[in-house]
Amino acid sequence: MQANRPHEPSYGGIPTFSKLPLVLDPHGLAGVDVAILGAPIDETVSNRPGSRYGPRAIRAADDSAGVPPSRPHMWLGVDPFAELRVVDYGDAETVPGNAAESHTQIRRRVGEICAAGAVPIVLGGDHSIAHPNMAAVAEHRGKGAVGVIHFDAHADTAADLRGVVRSHGTPMRLVVDEGWVRGDRFIQVGLRGWWPDPDEFAWMRKVGFHWYTMYELDERGFDVCLSEVIRSAHEWGQPVFLSIDVDALDPAYAPGTGTPEVGGLTMRELLRAARRIATELPIAGVELVEVAPAYDPSGITAVNAHRLVLEVLSGLALARTGRAPQPEHDGRPHV
């Protein structure tokens, strides 16, 4: 269903993602390439709440006016909305105060997207949703058949946080313990700060995680490490689930999040990573989590999250065409 009139201004109308058609019934997913789903939940955070408002803020951060949307990528030379059939699948029916039921609902909706043969892009919500998201994708593709590239300040690999297992600090351990993702198919990028503790790192080493701390990215250079991540994921020979916690970004770019940590990625680095991963690797699913608008006075965190999704869509579109990037050049000879 089209929720917007053709010429509503960018700031007007019902904010589906980029004024895309809204689909609420799984039958409407037939023939869809990518479905964007909101997962508004934040009961499972360890620090500041508010990411339940993330999906709406990300949708409202769009500045495109036309229906249908057209967003030709200046560097890739591809319009994701011309190449791919993308829809907004609304929000999962999360239940306030009932994290277990919320996760069941998220997993159900992500499963419906996978069953339709589409790629889910899930807007959080706190990072606890990685568990239902990855479980749904792995249920569809096969247990252990999907690898994970995970951008985050934190590893999210606690066994529990003060006894709470269903938390935004535990999902990456849960998905491995339950067999949805193999530990040696996990790469984390951007870790820094003061958590997790050596115990968590010991568990991660034991099950075969790889990770790139901000310190290593600084020492060796971001692009060198990014190429290494992509090469490793290629060697898996498996589709990839891309998990982006917006707190991977430096708080200068993403103040609107529950557990900010200084010394993070620049938006240019994360854009390049999202673009290259979506272009160069087979993508089974994507999540973008932890946008908390209450701490985002300028709205920049929501804008960055929205643009990261556009960047992923553009990369997926380029991969679909099989073309090389066609940057908008001015005609000067380039070396």
Binding site for Mn ion (CB under 5 A): 127, 152, 156, 245
Q: At its nearest, how many Å lie between Mn ion and the CB of residue 183?
A: 17
> Percentages helix, strand, coil for the chain, rounded to the nearest 5?
40, 15, 45
Q: At its nearest, how many Å lie between Mn ion and the CB of residue 239?
A: 21
Q: Closest CB to Mn ion among 32 and 148?
A: 148
Q: At its nearest, how many Å lie between Mn ion and the CB of residue 56?
A: 20
Q: Closest CB to Mn ion among 23 and 288?
A: 288
Q: Closest CB to Mn ion among 16 and 243?
A: 243
Q: At its nearest, how many Å lie between Mn ion and the CB of residue 33?
A: 27
Q: At its nearest, how many Å lie between Mn ion and the CB of residue 256?
A: 14
Q: Can you tell me whether residue 147 is helix, strand or coil?
A: strand
Q: Any alpha helices (H) in the chain, and if so which ranges?
A: 54-60, 80-83, 99-115, 130-141, 171-177, 198-207, 214-220, 222-236, 267-280, 300-321
Q: Closest CB to Mn ion among 116 and 123?
A: 123
Q: Closest CB to Mn ion among 81 and 180?
A: 180
Q: At its nearest, how many Å lie between Mn ion and the CB of residue 203?
A: 16
Q: Closest CB to Mn ion among 83 and 152?
A: 152
Any bridge partners for residue 273, and if so which?
none
Radius of gyration of the CA atoms of the chain, in A: 19
Closest by Cα among 216, 243, 210 to 229: 210
